[in-house]
């Protein structure tokens, strides 16, 4: 997949500034500006007040929208968002890794194209399937029992030293959250 194609996908996932894209790819701002200009000429992206939007988003009224979690219906906060992109192009969003993991079993694997979330410390987009998770820590930024995503095992282990919890890969985190929920641990929603 070319960098321009990745940029379109990342903008769709919510990475909407040139600076954040440059950091994500490890390239200069000028390099991203060139790619964005080409994408604008191709009619795929629009720049509006410093924010990058997909062309179809611009044709609709621009407004702050509240998306509900597909699992618990809580409003989705960008920094914790867990998003599945289906091959049909449809996005399925969860409010946090806890709900995102539980939602996985409800989706058909053959329909999934990608899954992205955000590193809890660095706020960088990461692949859900290669992320490391701290499950059951005392930190509960969203639902309970908490599941928090990290880009590296090292960062997850550092976090777990301070806040407790188990450091797990995707499959083990999925199994752990499911077991905790089956034991009757309630979903704690803070409003």
Predicted confidence (pLDDT) per residue in 22-55, tens digit: 999 999 988 998 998 898 888 888 887 778 888 7
| Residue 124 predicted with pLDDT over 70 | yes
pTM of the complete model: 0.63
> What sign does the CA torsion over 33, 35, 39, 44 have?
negative
Overall fold of domain 3-59: Arc Repressor Mutant, subunit A (1.10.10)
Residues in contact with 125: Cβ distance below 8 Å, sequence separation at least 6, in sequence order: 10, 13, 14, 15, 24, 116, 117, 118, 119
Residue 62: per-residue pLDDT: 34
SS3 85: strand
Relative to beta strand 91-94, strand 82-86 is antiparallel
pLDDT above 90 (res 163)? yes
List every span in the chain annotated with CATH 1.10.10.10.
3-59
Asked whether the beta carbons of 140 and 188 are under 8 A apart, the reply is yes
CA distance 123 to 170: 18
pLDDT of 74 > 70? The answer is yes
- Alpha-helical runs (H) found in the chain: 3-13, 18-25, 29-41, 55-59, 97-104, 153-163, 170-182
Average pLDDT over all residues of the chain: 86
> Which DSSP string do the residues of 127-160 spell out, in sequence order?
ETTT-EEEES-S--SSSSS-EEEESSHHHHHHHH
CA end-to-end span of the chain: 40
Contact 134, 160 (CB under 8 A): yes
Of 82-86, 121-125, 169-173, 185-189, the range with the lowest mean pLDDT is: 185-189
pLDDT digits (tens, 9 = 90+) for 170-191: 999 999 999 988 865 455 555 4
């Amino acid at each position: 997949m070319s960098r321009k194609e990745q940029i379109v996908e990342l903008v769709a996932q919510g990475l909407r500034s040139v600076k954040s894209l440059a950091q994500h790819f490890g390239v200069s701002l000028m390099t991203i500006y060139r790619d964005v200009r080409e994408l604008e000429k191709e009619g795929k992206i629009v720049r509006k007040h410093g924010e990058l939007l997909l062309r179809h988003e611009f044709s609709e009224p621009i407004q702050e929208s509240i998306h509900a979690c597909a699992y618990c219906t809580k409003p989705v906060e960008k920094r914790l968002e867990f998003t599945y992109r289906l091959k049909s192009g449809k996005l399925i969003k969860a409010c946090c890794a806890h709900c995102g993991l539980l939602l996985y079993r409800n989706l058909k694997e053959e329909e999934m194209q990608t899954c992205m979330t955000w590193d809890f410390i660095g706020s960088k987009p990461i692949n859900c399937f290669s992320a490391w998770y701290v499950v059951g820590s005392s930190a509960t930024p969203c639902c309970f029992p908490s599941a928090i995503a990290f880009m590296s095992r090292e960062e997850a282990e550092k976090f777990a030293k301070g806040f407790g919890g188990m450091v797990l890969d995707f499959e083990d985190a999925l199994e752990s959250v499911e077991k905790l929920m089956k034991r009757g641990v309630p979903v704690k929603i803070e409003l």
